[in-house]
């Protein structure tokens, strides 16, 4: 697969392009006058001051197309994406609330079945919410809270020059029917193993092994790296041939895929192997795939040539960075 094809696929992928509107909303809702907000825009979850800990607070809505194509997975992923956001910050998920909009009881029941399975899978309760029982459409949105010791928090915005870029991914999974960009590595696994994968992030955080991190979400693995670099106001170079990948999967499809368990790290080189080894104990493959620099440009290479993917002096993924003045 050519580098030009990879660049075109990422830059035009809806998982990337639909993020661009975020900064327009953020600009209208500033948080600078609220000292209790330690971190917010550009992070996987907001961090709110609470004694020696931060309360982590996040929310995700499921795309209309997923609700229409597979309501069960819509409910399941509504939980999974929120749990991943808390884990990405080095935190422990505590509880969730949901907002459901529904028209047909059959679809509602499928969404609820997916949510119920995910609650048991990740061992995080849904403790309340709100229901719109008379809509002309179906939607599921979930908000989550978690907690992390202040000294352990992992941010998206703190990557440093000369850090390794480390990818860890659970390659043992499958693409569900009608979901070509969602890698399911959790539904068929033992609940304890899935929970251990999320909890491994708390161990990485406690050992202070990484400068920055994010969970691999809708923009795919390289797109998620792009969000981390944009938030950190850094650049980087990534070798696409080093990305952990299962056999017999199309390279571009894999690069664009939402991972059931996948994380991007900016890691001091002396800690990279430790992080990879830790995740290997819970069934995840890892590799150093590149490095961080101060160029504010993300380039990709295949070991023979390179291409510019994003120049964050002009390009926008989310437009969010705590370091912007």
Secondary structure of residue 226 in the 3-state scheme: helix
Same domain, 116 and 214: no
Taking Cα atoms as reference points, which of 64, 61, 36, 60 lies closest to residue 48?
36
Domain count, the chain: 2
pLDDT attached to residue 52: 96
pLDDT attached to residue 40: 87
Q: Is the pLDDT of residue 313 over 90?
A: yes
* CA distance linking residue 212 with residue 208, whole number of Å: 10
Q: Is 138 exposed, middle or buried (0-12, 13-18, 19+ CB in 10 A)?
A: buried
Q: Is the pLDDT of residue 287 over 90?
A: yes
pLDDT in tens, 91-138: 999 999 999 998 888 899 999 999 999 999 999 999 999 989 888 889
Q: Which residue, 151, 168, 195, sits at the end of a domain?
A: 151
The whole domain housing 12 covers: 3-16+154-311
pLDDT attached to residue 259: 97
Averaged pLDDT score across all residues of the chain? 94
DSSP character for 298?
A: E
**Whole-model pTM?**
0.94
pLDDT attached to residue 270: 98
Same domain, 138 and 275: no
Residues 111 and 71: beta-carbon distance below 8 Å: yes
Same domain, 161 and 299: yes
Same domain, 66 and 122: yes
Q: Can you give the CATH number for the domain in which 286 is found?
A: 3.90.650.10
Across residues 54-68, what is the average pLDDT?
Answer: 92
Q: Is the pLDDT of residue 70 over 60?
A: yes
Same domain, 306 and 224: yes
Within 10 A of 325 (CB to CB), how many other CB atoms are there? Answer: 3
The CA-atom distances, in angstroms, between 168 and each of 38, 163, 284, 305 are 27, 16, 6, 24
Q: Which residue, 151, 167, 196, sits at the end of a domain?
A: 151
Q: Can you give the CATH number for the domain in which 107 is found?
A: 3.30.1330.10
In which band, very low, low, confident or very high, does the pLDDT at 182 lie, cut at 50, 70 and 90?
very high
pLDDT in tens, 73-92: 999 999 999 999 999 999 99
Q: Is the pLDDT of residue 8 over 60?
A: yes
* CA distance linking residue 134 with residue 10, whole number of Å: 38
Across residues 206-235, what is the average pLDDT?
Answer: 97
- 183: in domain: yes
Helix 272-280 to helix 191-206 angle (10° resolution) is 160
Same domain, 159 and 306: yes
Give the pair of three-digit tokens for residue 107.
């679809």
Same domain, 69 and 147: yes
Across residues 220-226, what is the average pLDDT?
Answer: 97
Same domain, 178 and 282: yes
Beta bridge partners of 90: none
Same domain, 201 and 132: no
- Of residues 102 and 210, more confidence is placed in 210
Secondary structure of residue 295 in the 3-state scheme: coil
Across residues 50-64, what is the average pLDDT?
Answer: 94
Same domain, 138 and 201: no
Q: Is the pLDDT of residue 29 over 90?
A: no
Q: Which residue, 122, 151, 180, sits at the end of a domain?
A: 151
Write the DSSP assignment of 244-261 as a string of letters. ---TT--HHHHHTPEESS
Same domain, 201 and 253: yes
- 25: in domain: no
In which band, very low, low, confident or very high, does the pLDDT at 323 lie, cut at 50, 70 and 90?
low
């Amino acid at each position: 697969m050519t580098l030009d094809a990879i660049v075109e696929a990422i830059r035009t992928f809806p998982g990337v392009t639909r993020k661009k509107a975020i900064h327009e909303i953020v600009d209208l809702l500033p948080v600078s006058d609220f000292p209790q907000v330690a971190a917010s825009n550009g992070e996987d979850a907001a961090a709110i001051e609470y004694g020696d800990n931060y309360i982590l607070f996040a929310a995700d809505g499921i795309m209309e197309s997923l609700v229409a194509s597979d309501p069960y997975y819509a409910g399941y992923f509504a939980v999974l994406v929120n749990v991943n956001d808390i884990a990405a910050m080095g935190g422990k998920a505590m509880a969730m609330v949901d907002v459901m909009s529904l028209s047909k009881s059959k679809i509602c029941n499928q969404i609820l079945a997916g949510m119920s399975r995910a609650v048991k899978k990740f061992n995080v309760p849904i403790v309340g919410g709100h229901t719109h029982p008379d809509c002309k459409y179906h939607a599921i949105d979930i908000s989550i809270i978690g907690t992390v010791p202040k000294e352990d928090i992992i941010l998206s915005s703190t990557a440093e020059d000369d850090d390794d870029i480390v990818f860890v991914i659970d390659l043992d999974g499958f693409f569900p029917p009608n979901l070509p960009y969602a890698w399911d590595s959790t539904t068929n696994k033992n609940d304890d193993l899935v929970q251990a994968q999320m909890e491994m992030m708390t161990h990485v955080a406690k050992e202070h092994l990484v400068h920055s991190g994010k969970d691999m979400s809708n923009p795919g693995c390289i797109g998620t790296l792009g969000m981390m670099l944009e938030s950190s106001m850094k650049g980087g170079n990534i070798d696409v041939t080093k990305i952990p990948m299962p056999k017999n999967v199309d390279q571009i499809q894999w690069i664009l895929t939402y991972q059931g368990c996948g994380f991007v790290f900016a890691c001091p080189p002396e800690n990279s192997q430790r992080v990879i080894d830790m995740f290997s104990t819970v069934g995840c493959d890892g590799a150093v795939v590149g490095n961080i620099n101060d160029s504010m440009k993300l380039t990709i290479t295949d070991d023979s040539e390179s291409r510019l993917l994003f120049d964050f002096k002009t390009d926008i993924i989310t437009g969010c960075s705590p370091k912007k003045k």
